[in-house]
Structure 1
Amino acid sequence: MQTMTVLPQRPHAAVFCLLLYCLNGCLSIPDPRQREALMQLEASMQTGGRVVLTDAEQRLDALLFKMKQEEIIKADFPPAMHFFRARSLINNSPIFSLLQKMPKGGALHVHDLSMVNAEWLVKNVTYRPNCYMCCTDNHSIRFIFSSRVPKALARCSAWTLLENLRAKMVNPTDLDNSIMGNLTLYTDQDPETVYPSQDVVWSRFEQAFLAAWGLVTYAPVFRDYYYEGLTQFYMDNIMYLELRALLPEIYELDGSTHDTVWTLKTYQEVTRRFTAEHPDFFGARIIFTVNRGVNMSVMIGVVEKAMKLKRDFPDIMAGFDLVGREDSGRPLWYFREALSMPVERGVTLPFFFHAGETDLEGTEVDQNLLDAILLNTSRIGHGFALLRHPVAKDMSKKRGVAVEVCPISNQVLKLVKDLRNHPAAALMSENQPVVISSDDPAMFGSSGLSHDFYETFVGFGGISSHLGSLKELAMNSIRYSSLSPKQQEKALALWQRRWDKFVSENAP
């Protein structure tokens, strides 16, 4: 049975009139009713502020409120700490335990080479036959699977067959831990010391991707890796995924390669198999990406390819994006000729542009936000700089362009130190369209979406966010997905059944 809203949609009409009257200076001492009306009005404006909660949801909300009160007064408050230091505290939090069980809808901003945790890659991939490793001169590693000793790689040591190397060791644990450390940014040391600047952390970030490349792009691993990625997200109660993928050439043991079409088909086949085996998983779609460091001629060719893939694979292919560090890559405006091709040709190719993933101000980089909107982006990836661009913020809200917020990524990559100060806190206070995602969870040592939802709920929202906020964020991930309206309706119905079950099992 539906009950009264926890946070009313608007103050009662009489109170609202009183509010307007008093704001014009009717009393020297503010009327308590005026204060209450203001508080209700402000609360109704935040994400989830107008969500109607059932009796059971209200009981669960009261439990969450009590948990959050206890969390906030702790000396070590996780959102105020670097995630690498806070992770163990979060893992032991009763709020986090509840969020793990919560059906979170879809993950709309996740990258292909960082969706599966590093431990799985080490234990399940590097122990396979024919896996070679070399060490680069900048203290990273590279891998390749080959039926014979591979050709030497520039700026890398001689290739070593891992099977032989491990056979010489009494205990290969140290080697495994060292490999794992090269596949993730996570560190047990002080992260502020290990990564003193954005340049340092981004350099390490890019090297970790290159280290994973030779493992993930090996054909037998590629299939298993993607299936495992879907499994890990599914186990975190995520029912849908939109994966940003470079669609690289995939190689076989003999060195032969498969093209982009083969790669996309493989994503499609594995998704179908996983969905068939997990009927409550709604599916996955691919956002084709290219590094923003390419030149114009390359971009024109890639956009041509993207249009063809969208035409030939409309079910699995969601759209197109540019990836890589915004601060050092080319801005969207540089590629405007190539990115205008779909509209000029009457071809539908949705864009999901990374934009505003920067703390720079007044540069071509943060102007990506306005250019993304001019190019009719469907969502904005990160949008960290959006608060400093009121026109872009207003246009994106009016057009229903959601911001894909990735809290842990923004903190680890040194855009914000204390997550209570993340710009998304302000966006959520006025119900800007927002979805929560995890960007590169394997690189950060996070899992699925639960860690990012924790940082959002406890950090961004403070004491005022509530179950309605969580509910709306989960529903947003379906509403602002690339799914068709009919698919969204079906997905929301599936999500609602899981949500009702979650509430009934966890409400006091």
Structure 2
Amino acid sequence: MCKKLNPNMFKMMPRLLQSLFLLSWGLAAITAAHAGLVSPAGYEQNRSALLNAEEELMTGGHLFLNTQEAKANDIFMKYKREELSQGFQNAEQNTASLHFFKAKELIDRSSVFKFLQQMPKGAQLHLHNSAAVSSKWVVQHLSYMPGMLRCANAAGVSILSFRRMPKKHGCFTQYVAVANERRSYSDPMLYDQYFERLINLYTPMPELEYLQVWNKFQDMFDTIGDVLNYRPAFRAFHWQLLEEMYNDNIMYLELRMGLKKELYDEYGHTYPMDQAIRELIAIEERFKRLHPDFLGMKIISTTYRGASLESMQRNIQFYRELHEAFPNFVVGFDLVGQEDLGKSLYSFLPALQELPHTARLFLHAGETNQFGTSTDLNILDALLLNTTRIGHGYALAKHPVLLNAVKARDIAVELSPISNQVLSLVWDMRNHPGAQYLAMNIPLVVGSDDPGFWNAKGISYDFYYTIMSLAPNNAGLRVLKTLVWNSVRYSLLQEAEKSRAYDLLEKQWSSFINRVVAGDTEI
């Protein structure tokens, strides 16, 4: 007979021992039932024990809600069950299974989503700066800045710039002034819609239009890249980035960005390559003065994974210099670009092993549907290189030894479900391997990757799919709270910073819970 689990005894066990205990406990119940040793009453007891074992093993399963949290959870679960029930009855409104481009209008009206928008979400740990700001803001502000020019490169991709002599930056055609193009349209709003499509993947028919979505996706970085090196645009854009994250109840972020670029101004002057870091520090300090409950940001330097070994070594040397100059601001290193077409981590070992011992790796690894290739084996090399977190880790579910290593070593996987869907790894989000990771209590944090490129803001949309599609139907506040606290736990905040973050998060969370229970939230 399978005994009832003692919660107090269970909480005292280390995390890995908890998992092994629950697994053996559940297997004992199944073995007893298979041997025909149970009565009808015993069968029900074993059945309940197995269900409890799975729930205890799941992300958030070990967390106990206080009285107020339990009341807020009841309210949240009412919203969730209503939306799931509606989706079950009408496939066209089943947001949990729909592509984000088809579901977004429904999600925007969702009570679950409005709850999540107002929920404190801790830290944003997987975000690329060039695609972090909403495309509508870019159109309404940056495209109206005086002096913006547009051309096309040899592949027909639009390139935007504010340079006086932009011909050196990838142009094949003559530059034209964006302001003149807009005036040539009968309706400026039509031009703005056209312009937004240059930096937004949205389409009402993603299943037809984006058979090669990565090509369009990477083209958009080329389109917007030189605009963001223009000093006035750089400042405005990154201020807006902080605004959008803060307005989505994010208190801290770790921002991935390429740093080996010169800023330039309206007079044609260029600045040393460390100027971008100095600008970001000034923006961060000014933002924190206006928002004392925002804890700031740190930078993870990125470089293209298609580079040569020699180029990678030069980029790492440049990162080393910035890390030494700004040790608590430029904190990590990563490789970016489509993994399937890029070079493997293994091929860059001579360069990656030259990183300073104080540097941290935050490696994209396993962002692929491939199995048994150099791409999914990037996860293996990421672990051998002692990565601090794993970006995406989509293929991790296919490698049980590596999966167990991730759990045993307490390495967080940065989950970005909408990115994986938009970039064609998964269609129905309920089939995302993140569901397995949640079920097995793999260390997880939620990130939004490139929200500006697919008509999103902040991180709430990714939280929506995590709780509605990846988590079981009966999962609520325990999963959400664990993911929020994980975002601080697995951040690179220093101990004093982390202590302050937990204190602030606890206050924000308690205030939010009390407002939900009192009915003071806008849902």
The TM-score with structure 2 as length reference comes to 0.90
Aligned to 2:349: 336
Change in CA separation of 1:499 and 1:115 when aligned onto 2, cut-off 3 Å = same
1:193 equivalenced with 2:208 (yes/no) = yes
Looking at structure 1, the residues matched to 26 and 359 of structure 2 have their Cα atoms a distance apart, in angstroms, of: 46
Displacement after TM superposition at 1:318 (Å):
1.7
Q: Any idea what the Cα deviations from partners look like across 1:24-44, whole Å, max 9, x if unmatched?
A: 642264522221121111101
List alignment gaps of at least 5 residues for structure 1: none
Q: Which amino acid aligns with 2:159?
A: R
SS of 2:96's equivalent? helix
Aligned to 1:160: 176
Displacement after TM superposition at 1:405 (Å):
0.4
SS of 1:34's equivalent? helix
Looking at structure 1, the residues matched to 315 and 181 of structure 2 have their Cα atoms a distance apart, in angstroms, of: 40
Looking at structure 2, the residues matched to 427 and 379 of structure 1 have their Cα atoms a distance apart, in angstroms, of: 14
Displacement after TM superposition at 1:162 (Å):
2.1
Change in CA separation of 1:317 and 1:149 when aligned onto 2, cut-off 3 Å = closer
Displacement after TM superposition at 1:152 (Å):
7.3
Residue of 485, 488, 509 corresponding to 1:499: 509
Residue of 335, 356, 369 corresponding to 1:359: 369
Change in CA separation of 1:168 and 1:99 when aligned onto 2, cut-off 3 Å = same
Looking at structure 1, the residues matched to 400 and 430 of structure 2 have their Cα atoms a distance apart, in angstroms, of: 21
Aligned to 2:3: none
Q: Which range is displaced more, 300-309 or 97-106? A: 300-309
Q: Which amino acid aligns with 1:227?
A: W
Looking at structure 2, the residues matched to 436 and 92 of structure 1 have their Cα atoms a distance apart, in angstroms, of: 22
Kept in 1, the 8 Å contact 2:339–2:367? The answer is yes
Aligned to 1:221: 233
Q: Which range is displaced more, 248-257 or 172-181? A: 248-257
Q: Any idea what the Cα deviations from partners look like across 1:159-202, whole Å, max 9, x if unmatched?
A: 11122333444421111110100111112x31111112xxx100
1:87 equivalenced with 2:104 (yes/no) = yes
Q: Which range is displaced more, 439-448 or 159-168? A: 159-168
Change in CA separation of 1:153 and 1:108 when aligned onto 2, cut-off 3 Å = closer
Q: Which amino acid aligns with 1:219?
A: R
Kept in 1, the 8 Å contact 2:159–2:171? The answer is no
Looking at structure 2, the residues matched to 214 and 335 of structure 1 have their Cα atoms a distance apart, in angstroms, of: 27
Q: Which amino acid aligns with 1:97?
A: K
Change in CA separation of 1:251 and 1:505 when aligned onto 2, cut-off 3 Å = same
Change in CA separation of 1:18 and 1:320 when aligned onto 2, cut-off 3 Å = closer
Aligned to 2:167: 151
Displacement after TM superposition at 1:139 (Å):
4.4
Aligned to 2:14: none
Change in CA separation of 1:25 and 1:259 when aligned onto 2, cut-off 3 Å = farther
Residue of 303, 306, 322 corresponding to 1:309: 322
Aligned to 1:98: 115
Kept in 2, the 8 Å contact 1:102–1:499? The answer is yes
Aligned to 1:132: 149
Aligned to 1:246: 258
Q: Which range is displaced more, 30-39 or 349-358? A: 30-39
Displacement after TM superposition at 1:18 (Å):
9.3
Aligned to 1:108: 125
Kept in 1, the 8 Å contact 2:26–2:53? The answer is no
Looking at structure 1, the residues matched to 170 and 296 of structure 2 have their Cα atoms a distance apart, in angstroms, of: 40
Kept in 1, the 8 Å contact 2:444–2:483? The answer is yes
Displacement after TM superposition at 1:307 (Å):
1.9
Looking at structure 1, the residues matched to 328 and 146 of structure 2 have their Cα atoms a distance apart, in angstroms, of: 35
Q: Which amino acid aligns with 2:103?
A: A
Q: Which amino acid aligns with 1:314?
A: P
Displacement after TM superposition at 1:506 (Å):
0.6
Aligned ranges for residues 67-466 of structure 1 at < 5 Å?
Answer: 67-73=79-85, 74=87, 75=90, 76-136=93-153, 138-146=155-163, 148=164, 150-151=166-167, 156-187=172-203, 189-196=204-211, 200-247=212-259, 248-342=261-355, 347-466=357-476
Q: Any idea what the Cα deviations from partners look like across 1:425-463, whole Å, max 9, x if unmatched?
A: 001111100000100000111110100000000000131
Q: Which range is displaced more, 212-221 or 223-232? A: 212-221
Q: Any idea what the Cα deviations from partners look like across 1:56-98, whole Å, max 9, x if unmatched?
A: 1111111121211111122121121111001001111100000
Looking at structure 1, the residues matched to 354 and 226 of structure 2 have their Cα atoms a distance apart, in angstroms, of: 33
1:27 equivalenced with 2:38 (yes/no) = yes
Change in CA separation of 1:65 and 1:159 when aligned onto 2, cut-off 3 Å = same
The TM-score with structure 1 as length reference comes to 0.93
Q: How many residues were matched structurally?
A: 494
Change in CA separation of 1:155 and 1:275 when aligned onto 2, cut-off 3 Å = closer
Aligned to 2:65: 53
Change in CA separation of 1:451 and 1:167 when aligned onto 2, cut-off 3 Å = same
Kept in 2, the 8 Å contact 1:152–1:158? The answer is no
Looking at structure 2, the residues matched to 154 and 19 of structure 1 have their Cα atoms a distance apart, in angstroms, of: 65
Q: Which range is displaced more, 209-218 or 152-161? A: 152-161
SS of 1:414's equivalent? coil
Q: Which range is displaced more, 466-475 or 269-278? A: 269-278
Looking at structure 2, the residues matched to 84 and 129 of structure 1 have their Cα atoms a distance apart, in angstroms, of: 32
Kept in 2, the 8 Å contact 1:355–1:382? The answer is yes
Kept in 2, the 8 Å contact 1:18–1:34? The answer is no
Looking at structure 1, the residues matched to 110 and 197 of structure 2 have their Cα atoms a distance apart, in angstroms, of: 26
Looking at structure 1, the residues matched to 174 and 494 of structure 2 have their Cα atoms a distance apart, in angstroms, of: 51
Looking at structure 2, the residues matched to 315 and 71 of structure 1 have their Cα atoms a distance apart, in angstroms, of: 43
Identity, in percent, stands at 37
Looking at structure 2, the residues matched to 443 and 428 of structure 1 have their Cα atoms a distance apart, in angstroms, of: 27
Change in CA separation of 1:127 and 1:63 when aligned onto 2, cut-off 3 Å = same
List alignment gaps of at least 5 residues for structure 2: 1-5, 12-17, 519-523
SS of 1:478's equivalent? helix
Q: Which amino acid aligns with 2:252?
A: Y
- Aligned-pair RMSD on alpha carbons? 2.3
Aligned to 1:482: 492
Q: Which amino acid aligns with 2:514?
A: S
Looking at structure 1, the residues matched to 315 and 335 of structure 2 have their Cα atoms a distance apart, in angstroms, of: 11
